Structure formats: C-alpha cells, structure tokens
Structure 1
Amino acid sequence: MTAELDAAITRAFRVESGQVIATLIRVTGDWDLAEECLQEAFALALRTWPRDGVPAKPGAWLTTAARNRATDRIRREAVGAAKLREAAELHVPAEPEWDESGVHDDRLRLIFTCCHPALPLEGQVALALRTLAGLTTAEIARAFLVSEATISQRLVRVKRKIRTAGIPYRVPPAELLPERTAAVLGMLYLLFNEGYSASAGTDLLRPDLSAEAIRLARILASLMPGEPEVLGLLALLLLHDARRATRVDDQGTLVSLEDQDRGGWNTAEIAEGTELLETALRRGVAGQYQIQAAIAACHATAARAADTDWAQIAALYGELLRFVPSPVVELNRAVAVAMAEGPEAGLELVDKLAADGALPGYHLLPATRADLLRRLDRLGEAADAYREALALAGTDAERAYLSGKLADIS
C-alpha cells in the first residue's frame, strides 16, 4: 500500500467515522453492532481501495458497506418472520425522518443521546469521544488518566443503560431541551477542542472535528435562539477557530499567542463571533461560555499583542471561577495576572497551585512556571521547569515548542 493511499484511508476514518456510525446507530438501533460494522467496512476498504482506488465519496462508500454488513448480520441472527422483515427493510433514507424537534441531523441526535440525563457524566463523555471523535479506548483512557479497562467498562455500562432504559436516539422536543443543554454544550466544546489540539493523535490539528462542532453549534443555536449560553459557545468556537491558521509554523511547532501573525486571523469569524457574543450578553444572563468568549474576543480584537487588555482578561477569569472553580482556570488567571501586573505576581499564584498539588501530570503548569521564571531571569530554575514540562507534554508540537524554549536559555 502506498503512503498516499494509507493517508487517504486514515483521513477517511478520522473524517467520516463519526457520521457513518451516527447513521448506523439510527438505522440499527444497536451501538455495538454499529461499531462492529464500521470496523468491518474499514477492513473492506483496506482490501479493495488499493485495487479499485479511493472512492469519490468515501463516507457514502463506507456507509453503504457498513449498512450491508449490518443487514447480513441481522439476517444471520434473525429468528422468525418479524426479524427477517426487519432485515429486508433495513435501509438508509436519502433524507432521515424528522423527529419532534424538527431536526434530522444524525450527529446532533447522537450528541443528545450521549447527553441523556439518565447516563453518568463520565459515561457520556467517554461515549461521545468514542463515537463522535473516533478515539480508541486507549486514547480515551489517556485523556482521562485512567486504565483502558476502566474506560472499556464505562462504555459497556453506558451502552447497556441506553439499551435497557430504552433511551431514544433523537433530539428531544423543545420542552426537554433545557435539561440537556449544559451537557450538550460541554460535549460540543470537547469535540471542538479535540479537533483544535488533537490530543489523541500525532497530528496537531483535526479541522474536521472543529468544523463539525461549529456546524452542530449553529444547528443548536437555531433550535434555541433565546439561550445566551448557546450563542456564547458558538461565539467562543468561532473566535478560537479564527486563529487556527497561525497556531503552528511551517515546521509544525506551536506558535504562542503573542507571536502569532494577526494578519492571518480569520476576520469574518472574528466579526461573527463578536456579534454573537454581544447578542448573548444583551440577554443579561451570564454563563461560562459567554465569559470564555469575552476572553477570546479580548485577544481577537487587539490589533497587536501589546494592545491586549490583560487586566480585563484577569478580571474575566476571576468571574469565570464562579462558574468553573477549576485549577485550570486559576492557572489561566495567573498568566493574565502576570501579564497585567508582572511575572512575580503571576508566579506567586502558580507556585500556590503547585504547592496545593493541583493539576498533577498537566504539562502547562510547569511550562507556565518556566516561562515566568525565565522572565524573572531565574534561568536555572526555568530550565528545570521546562524539563519537567517536556516530560509531561503529550504531542510532538508541544515537545518541539518546549525544547526550543529550553534551548534558548541553555
């Protein structure tokens, strides 16, 4: 198999697997069967694409192949005329039937199914990462810092719960949307970030996942136009995505925010995100995504890095802590404080987090500390902190960035 073909198949799996499995789950109603048939379809692609070439529409090819596998499996396992009729009628309509919500998007239905309030939160997230982002069990385990066996058990339990409780595969009617809104927003942000940072893969960026998160957020905003947090999330995703092209240099190394070429930022996404944020804020009901979008807007609308209003950003992070009392937010606030008041003020906050044992295994804690020590000309301590961060970094791009910083002071 040529390198080009291997790359095409890998790309097809990453880009298409979420949509294919969402369609299969709708058609079969069986999560395990859908996953197994998806894997069989990719195995068939590995055998036939080298001979026949990559199809013009890989997703449609894979959906058809997986659907045929599902049909065969149901026929083999069928007992009685009713099951045989079910197998004979199995198909994927060109336009799926509309449910009560008026939405016929398979992946959005899948998100709402994953976010059903009867399912435990850790199970919701694991299932979404497995089905929507296409992560392996091992990759999800690394993201959660738990064993692969633990994630496997979570996936088995949550799929069993969906089956035994008869949880429907649909976007719920309007009156039930609010009870799942927070979980769905969190899931969309998770999906976007997986595409933005690609923590599970060797590539830095997965733009297909980020683009899909933005598309689904737009659908959700059309469903709930009066919900400020939905608008806030869409604004946040757009404002982050606007910087995508400048986050990595030609060698694949991360470029810090202050060093990014602002002329390469997407001005249309910045304008749309800012307008959405203003609309959300006029509703007068604050929330975590609106605050995060406001922070992103402070960065996106500054003409130069030197023009960034770090005092305002520090204040916004302080407000965000009311909604998300997380050590990650505290670390981000420490960075903003350092930029607004000086590295000593920021280092004091970072050292307190470290002393409290916050964020074990999180490479950005020692990386932030290293940067502040460097700015204070405490180069020996900074070098030690960079080495600690290097040992914890999860991607090649992160390691390359940290290695460069270490080399600069060595």
Structure 2
Amino acid sequence: MPLDVIMPALGMTQDTGVILSWHKKPGDPVSEGDALFEVETDKAAMEVEAQGSGYLTNVTAEAGDEVPVGQVLALISETPEGSKDVPDRSSQPQSDTGTQEADPQDDAVPEGETVIMPALGMAQDAGLIVAWHKKPGDAVAAADVLFDVETDKSVVEVQAGHDGFVAALLAEEGEEAPVGDVIAIISRDKPQTPISRSLKARKAPVKTSSAPEKPTKVEEQASAPRKGPPRQHAPVSTGGRILASPKARRLAQEQGLDLSLLDQKGYPQPYHVKDLEVLEKLAKTPPSQGSALPAGRYLSAEVRSDGFDTFAAWAAQEPGLNDTSALLAGFAATSLNRKTANVALEAFGETRIYSIRGRRIGNLTQVGDDTTPDIRLRDLRFGQLTSVQMGPEDIPVISILAVENGFKLTLECHSEHIDASAAINLLSNFAGRMEQPLRHLL
C-alpha cells in the first residue's frame, strides 16, 4: 500500500509550508531516511525525510507552492508508475493542527473533526502519548490541552484545536502513534456512545496468508547496508562541516558514534540513518599500529550567574527542588536531549548519580552508584580554580567554575564520543539553561 507524503507540522502554530525544492524526481527510488524535499515555514527551512522505502510517485505540488499542513504532496509506491486511482485529499477539511480525515474503513468511528499525532521536530516519526487530559464524552474547547506527547526531545502539551465533545480516543496512554495518525475525534454534538480503543487493536494487520510476504526489490535494496567501496558521487563542499539528517545525527550521538569517521573513510555526505550501520562497523574496527589516539575536544563558555541564583533561591522553597546540586545535574541531563539520561555529579569530594526521564526537573531522581553515567558534571563553583583542562575521559565532562559576575563552563570529550556539532549543541544547551533556568518551566 502506498505511503502518503504530507506537508508536516514543524511548529504548533504552523498552518502552511512552502516547498523550496524536491530532492527526488517522480519515479526515483527512495529509501527510508532519504531527504525528499525542503520546506520553509515562517521560522526556518528544513529537510523532510522519507518515512518508508519505494518510489516517489503522484507528486501534486511543485517547488514554490505553499501547501497546507497535512495535505498529501506525493506517494511512496511499490512501483515507479505509482497508483492511477489516487483520491484527491487536498480538499479535505484540515484542522489547526494539520488533521486529516479518519480512515473510513475504521468501523464504528464517530464523525467529527480529527486530531492527529503532530510532528514536533524533523527527527520525529512517532510520539508517545503520556497522558490524556480529557475522557470520552467530555466537553472540550479549542484551547484546552487534550493530551501530553513525548518525543525524543521533550514532553509537549497539545491543544484540542476544536470546540465540541470528545467522541473518540483512538490510542491509549503509553502507546506510540506515528506522526499524522488520527488519535482522536471531536464532534460538534455530545456523542451518545463515545468510544475509547487502543492503537494496537485498531491497527491490527490483516493476514491473508500464512506464508511471509516476499519483499519487493526496492525494499531489499533499502534494507541492505552499504557494501564494498564507498559510493562514487561527486564530492560535496561542506566547509569542514559534517552534513547529516537530524535523525541520523541524533541517533549517532545517542550511540556514541562519530559521523566524521564516515567522511574520513571516503563515504560522501550527507549521511542518513541507513549509514549508521556502516559507521558502527567502522567504529568497531581496531586502529592500525602507530595510529594516533582519538582527538580531544575542548569547549568553554561564560554565562551570568544572576539568573541561576534567582532560580535556585526560588527552588529552595519548593519540595523536591531544594538541592542546588541536583538542579545542576538536571540541567546537564536534559542538555543531552535524550529520553533518559544519567549524570554523575562530583561536588564537595563525593559523587552522586542522578537519572532523569524527559525534560522536566521534577522527574530527576538519585540512583545507585552502579548506574552507568552518560555525562560527568563537576561542580567547582566554590573552589579557587578559574580554568580547567584535564583532557577527555571515558565520557563527556562538564566543569562549572565561578568567575567574576558569572560561571565559566567547560566541556571536554573525545571526538569518538560526539562529533563537533553535537559537542557545540551540548555546551550551548547547558549554558542556556544555566543563564535562563526558567526554560525548564515553559
């Protein structure tokens, strides 16, 4: 069955996007993770990746067109010819969150405005429903928070977008729904029989044969890792930067892989998710005798201290937030932009390990010493040191020192831990949290 390529919602207030360019032509083979097109919103221009493998077909929008969020732009089909009978979904009603019509084959689903799983970032292809704020049958206003969704970077409250009543909840708390999937129905009138069902039950596949389906040729090509010599493509001038999709960059950081190793071995940029399997094998290859040790990275930043001091004074009055060292650990953990992260905090001659899930400081807990940390944080604010450079260790290390009117922050790590761009983002995120701690409450 063909996959829809839709105009994604890159922000909660975005209604349309302008197609700047297509990276694939109709009939071109497409692998999951390939950059399909570039879209511009009122805030940024970003690449949109393919969510499946096949051939790009049935393209309905050209470069320069402004397209509503949720509208189908093309299909990813099993053959280069595509589908001849494609329904015109461009005229279907769209909600403020880019909703689309529910599947008419989904029996017993009430009529009404649909609510879809929004795309909150370019690296996101699904979202975890943390909690529903409304029950089936409840009245709801457009500005009411309908549910909380967790992506790989944050937990976000999503508004209903419509006035009416909750006629159906089509996914349960704890389930992960694909971006664009209909997860709720809001009706104008109070429903007589509101429903609630799980995503798993609603999406159960129908088996037509006990024998496994034979993958198509393009699926075999897409799933196969790169073999043999590097691709022979024209070199891309990058100015020393590593070009990679946001999803590939994030997964490489989580797995401790250095994307620059692919460039060193001659694999052309940009890199996508499918290249990480090759990168993992390269990272496991032992270096030849006489090869140099991995290069170290050293970054530093200075921030004012008044924002953190004010925040710490307020937090000291709140239950569970009165440990200043724990606040620092929470800032370091959330700066990694992972679903879960562990921080080893060194302060006053002792080490404590904290774990956090999501981005909320309230989710921070102290764990046992046998927990493996992802990052080490040294709190040196009350010492006499004004500079530190001790060399990279087994995990990235951030040190906090007191300087005039603020703090000096240093990050030391091996290049094999994270690439240069990820190191810059890590220290920048931490510095931003130290200077503007209220970001954790927004």
Could you say which TM-score interval applies, normalised by the shorter chain? under 0.3
Of Structure 1 and Structure 2, the greater strand share is in 2
Query: TM-score normalised to the size of structure 2?
Result: 0.25
Query: TM-score normalised to the size of structure 1?
Result: 0.27
Of Structure 1 and Structure 2, the greater helix share is in 1
Q: Quick check: which has more Rg, 1 or 2?
A: 2
